[in-house]
Amino acid sequence: MGQYYNAIVENKDNKRGFEQYNIFRSIGEDYGGQKLMEHSWLRNGFVNSVAKLLYHSPRRVMWMGDYTEDSDFSRIIKNHIGVAVPSVAYGENIDKLEDAHDFSLDGKYLVNHDKQQYIDMDKYIEMNDADGWVIHPLPLLTCTSNQRGGGDYYGSDVDSVGTWEWDTISIEDDKQNLDGFKEVDFRFSEE
């Protein structure tokens, strides 16, 4: 059996604070399945829709598997905001987001504002291209509860999976505002 994943994204429109978030689920054939490695690919509509939310808009992000215990989720949130959240509150289906199948990461940077790190996506794509297939780093880096079910990620650089969970992430066009940030490389491959 495998676990299904939802993207949990900070709700910037809510004035109540970081404890407010939306859950987005992958639904429909166009978005791939809900298992991590069924949708964690560049140009996947589900992942791109979430990525488009982060474009010039830093938000906390977590790809949470359904094998995550409420206590794990509460611990993650508490570590970041100092307050425990009892459980996932509410959600939305991804179809409520703008369709972003063609949202491209070419020439862009995936930025972790909490860790002051960034990925040059052009370099990432070049290093991780496997016959035209490239694993999208966003779901893997922000993932929690990986390796608890079939369909999870078990490939190279697996120790990096989850290292950005619930961190503040954005996608930027240039690195002019990234002085003091460190460029990081990840090698994600199932081979």
Those residues whose C-beta lies under 8 Å from the C-beta of residue 27, and which sit 6 or more positions away, are 93, 94, 95
Residue 95 lies in a domain: yes
Residue 189 lies in a domain: no
The pLDDT of residue 49: 84
Mean pLDDT for each 10-residue chunk of the chain (191 residues)? 83 56 63 83 87 91 80 61 45 52 87 98 94 94 90 96 94 92 96 74
Cα angle 16, 57, 61 (rounded to 5 degrees) comes to 70
Residue 79 lies in a domain: yes
Strand 167-172, strand 109-112: pairing: antiparallel
The pLDDT of residue 88: 45
Residue 191 lies in a domain: no
Q: How many domains does the chain have?
A: 1
The pLDDT of residue 2: 82
What the block records as the tokens of 188 is: 């994600």
The pLDDT of residue 18: 44
What pTM, to 2 d.p., does this model score?
A: 0.85
3-class SS at 52? helix
Give the alpha-carbon dihedral of 45, 50, 51, 53, to 10 degrees. Answer: 130
